[in-house]
Structure 1
Amino acid sequence: MVKYFLGQSVLRSSWDQVFAAFWQQYPNPCGKHILTEDIVHREVTPDQKLLSRPTGCPAGPSDCFLPMLLTRCTYILEDSIVDPQNQTMTIFTWNINYARPMVVEERCVDCVNSDNSGWTEIRREAWVSSSLRGVSRAVREFGLAQFKCNVTKTLKGFEYILAKLQGEAASKTLVKTAREAKEKAKETALAAKAKDLASKAATKKQQR
């Protein structure tokens, strides 16, 4: 038997912003156990889709139903498929060791929200299974409950990164606008000065 989870949520950010944030989501306050990700494989398919696989990410103490000492040795594999033409990003994740106690397979699809093109819709599915005899049902139940908790943490962490990137973008825009305004003012002042000098020169010429 397998426990199945389906969840949908909406981020009030455009798909382009979510796509950019995906590659910069670590570190964040809700995922402190991951500092960074290194890409070990990346390719562009003939149909112009981007396939990526980072290094195996270490699971945090709350990421799976395992003894505390084993969680530091548990690794999560992640594959992503980005389709820029249709504006979709599909992420597959699963644990690659300690699969007998529990396996959690997840598929997450990010796409443009049908009601608001400036928002991004997230459809998340998960399958939780266990091979432990006698307690597999309890393990699946616990694993599913823990997965739901982690989904909430993941969304909060992602929203933090989005807000941070949007804040940085707004700050850069303000700095750029201020710089452009200063340059414009300087150009206007120089033009006014040149016009004044030309007017004075013309007046002197007429007086002669």
Structure 2
Amino acid sequence: MKTNRLPRWAERFFPGGMSRCVYIMEDSIVDPVNRSLTTYTWNLNHTTLMSVEERCVFQDSAEQPATTQLKREAWISSSIFGFSKPIQEFGLARFKSNQLKAMKGLEYALSNLQGEIPHWLLRDTVKPASEKTKEAAKTLASAAAPQKPRQYV
């Protein structure tokens, strides 16, 4: 089940709560001879509004032996008369946006396996700390620092 919300204009076509989840089916095929993994994914409900089918092929790279190539394809269709083209364009734009996020997530997960931090994560998430945050950090650091022994005169 995928919980990505429908756009507000589409929510009015569905009863409350139904627009918040889409049931997804995925079929995966492992080919050990060609060293590839192919996934087929499609939605099971809301298909009148929009049907999305995706195929991903993960395969060893012949040019770079230690890397994996990914070929991703998607097909989007709609059965709503008079609105199918705008719905398809909306669906394609949203699909591309979601795939960028998915690729960043995959890159992040793979980099964690190697103990690295992706360059985009550092660039996008490291922001100057506010004064309040700096003071809280100083307080925590001083509390965690080893205490000097007291000297009496």
Which TM-score band applies after superposition, normalised by the shorter structure? 0.5 to 0.7
Separation (CA, whole Å) in 1 of partners of 2:59 and 2:3:
26
Q: Tell me if structure 1 keeps the 8 A contact 2:28–2:38.
A: yes
Which of 58, 70, 74 is residue 2 of structure 2 equivalent to? 58
Ranked by relative contact order (alpha carbons within 8 Å, sequence separation 6 or more), the top structure is 1
Distance 1:70 1:118 in 2: 43
Alpha-carbon separation, structure 1, partners of 2:41 and 2:80: 21
Distance across 2 between alignment mates of 1:90 and 1:59:
23
Equivalent residue, structure 1, for 2:113: 165
What TM-score does the superposition give when structure 1 sets the normalisation length?
0.49
Q: Which has the higher strand share?
A: 1
| Count of matched residue pairs | 111
Q: Secondary structure at the match of 2:114?
A: helix
Measured in 2, the distance between the counterparts of 1:62 and 1:132 equals 16
RMSD (Å) for aligned C-alpha atoms: 2.2
Normalising by structure 2, what TM-score? 0.66
Task: Report the equivalent of 2:93.
Answer: 145
Distance 1:88 1:62 in 2: 33
Structure 1: tracts of 5 or more residues without a match: 1-56, 169-208
Contact map agreement 1:59 1:76 (CA 8 A) in 2: no
- Which of 68, 71, 81 is equivalent to 1:120? 68
Q: Give the AA of the match of 2:76.
A: V
Give the fraction of aligned pairs with identical amino acids, expressed as a percent: 47
Q: Which runs of 5+ in 2 are unaligned?
A: 117-153
Mapped to 2, the partners of 1:83 and 1:147 lie a distance apart of: 27
Q: Letter of the 2:114 partner, please give it.
A: Q
Moved over 3 A (4+): 68-71
1:137–1:161: structure 2 CA closer, same or farther, 3 Å change rule?
same
* Structure 2 residue 35 is the aligned partner of structure 1 residue 87: yes
Larger-gyration structure (1/2)? 1
Determine the C-alpha separation between the residues in 1 that align with 2:45 and 2:83: 19
Cα deviation, residue 97, structure 1: 0.4
- In structure 2, the CA distance between the partners of 1:160 and 1:128, relative to structure 1 (3 Å rule), is same
- The offset of 1:66, in angstroms, is 4.3
Inter-partner Cα distance in structure 2 for 1:138 and 1:67? 16
The structure-2 alpha-carbon separation of the partners of 1:98 and 1:62, relative to structure 1 and needing over 3 Å to count, comes to closer
Letter in 2 for 1:58: K
Q: CA deviation at 1:76?
A: 1.3
